Amino acid sequence: MPESEPAPTPEPEPAEAPAPTATDRSAKRAVTVFPLLVIAAGVVGVLTPSSFTGWAPAVPWLLGIVMFSMGLTLTLPDFTAVARRPWAVGLGLVAHYVIMPGLGWLIATVLDLPPQLAAGVILVGCAPSGTASNVVTYLARGDVALSVSVATVSTLVAPLVTPPLTLLLAGQFLDVDAGSMVTDILKTVLVPVLLGFLVRVLAGRYVDKALRFLPWISAVTIAVIVLAVVSGSAALIKDAAALVFLAVVLHNGLGLALGYASGKLARLGKPASRAMAFEVGMQNSGLAASLAGAHFSPAAALPAAVFSVWHNVSGALVAAWMARSARRERQPGPAAARDST
């Protein structure tokens, strides 16, 4: 993802970064610790799977907690921001639901994945944007408003988009009940998000006091989801771990690169292009794991569990690199200083 070529119509970055709030600092710490929590959960699930027998049915409820927390972070200005930038938000939505599903199918085909794993990789690609993408965009000095808008819209339209895409791309590997999948997404994603938003509207003063705890609630809950998913497919991990990891790294890495490239090609500017990278490359892997376990098998949920770990590690690393690049661009070097004299 080159940062050296200036965009024809760049969006100006603020001269001074806003002072981080307590919520910002909490979110930054949570997104930093989150991969460690998920890795620990995965290791525990592999080593002692029998200790968590019967946890799988709780995954949809746990995902509902995560999505309710997401709804609590939304405000009315988040929705008006979509109306103010329909072109950029529309581009982000199309890029997300074209690039990642297409990459999922391509990777599953090229690597000749077994049907269950292929369906799982494709399902990850068809999921909405990841819940941590907004925080990672902030850390990368990206366009947070655009990130929030794309993440919100991709989540709200997921019941209409994820099932038919999964049917189209994964149907050649396994039978897909798209109708039942719509119902599950409505129950575990859309309804909790809207309930959380309603609570924010009606009791915003009280919710604001709890905002800094929400990233931690989401992080711990997703770690428990990974624990349940991994423990249910522990026997398969030893046989397929390397292949699944390769598929996940390719899926996430190409998604980040192509997401950034789509913003550059559309001349959105560097901050918006950074946001596009994370909105395309980071997926709601908790939803993918829940749907895979409910509609396919524990093996199909394995790519989502690995993706949940990896995309947060890669997202944090790419965000740090982008933030350093942004700081260097704002500081003229010796040559620029000599030219200005």
Instruction: Dump pLDDT digits (tens) for 8-21.
Output: 444 444 434 445 55
Segment (H or E) for 58: none
Residue 99, number of CB atoms within 10 A of its CB: 21
Burial 245-267 (b: 16+ CB within 10 A, else e): eebbbbbbbbbbbbbbbbbbebe
| Residue entry with tokens 């995560």 | 66
Q: Compute the distance between CA of residue 107 and CA of residue 303 in angstroms, rounded to an integer.
A: 12
8 A C-beta contact, residue 288 and residue 304 = yes
8 A C-beta contact, residue 273 and residue 260 = yes
8 A C-beta contact, residue 284 and residue 64 = no
Give helix 115-126 / helix 285-295 axis angle, nearest 10°.
140
Q: Compute the distance between CA of residue 185 and CA of residue 30 in angstroms, rounded to an integer.
A: 26
What are the residues whose beta carbons fall under 8 Å from the beta carbon of 293, sequence distance 6 or more?
A: 56, 59, 229, 232, 300, 301
| Residue entry with tokens 């929590």 | 37
Model confidence, pTM: 0.80
Q: Compute the distance between CA of residue 95 and CA of residue 171 in angstroms, rounded to an integer.
A: 22
List the end-to-end C-alpha distance of the chain, in Å, as a whole number.
33
8 A C-beta contact, residue 314 and residue 131 = no
Residue 21: its pLDDT value, please? Answer: 57
What are the residues whose beta carbons fall under 8 Å from the beta carbon of 188, sequence distance 6 or more?
A: 60, 63, 64, 67, 287, 290
Give me the phi and psi of 21, to 5 degrees please. Answer: -85, 175
Task: Give the CATH architecture of domain 28-325.
Answer: Up-down Bundle (1.20)
What residue segments make up the domains of the chain, in order of their start? 28-325
8 A C-beta contact, residue 304 and residue 128 = no
Beta partners for 129? 283
Residue 127: its pLDDT value, please? Answer: 94
Residues lower than pLDDT 50 in the chain: 1-18, 335-341
Q: Compute the distance between CA of residue 199 and CA of residue 124 in angstroms, rounded to an integer.
A: 29
**DSSP letter at 17?**
P
Helix (H, G, I), strand (E, B) or coil at 213: helix
CA atoms within 13 A on the CB side of 185: 26
Burial (CB < 10 A; 0-12, 13-18, 19+), residue 293, is buried
Burial 231-241 (b: 16+ CB within 10 A, else e): bbbbebbeebe
CA-wise closest residue to 146 among 11, 284, 54: 11
pLDDT in tens, 127-179: 999 877 887 888 888 888 898 889 989 999 999 999 999 999 998 888 888 88
Give helix 86-110 / helix 144-156 axis angle, nearest 10°.
70
Residue 341: its pLDDT value, please? Answer: 36
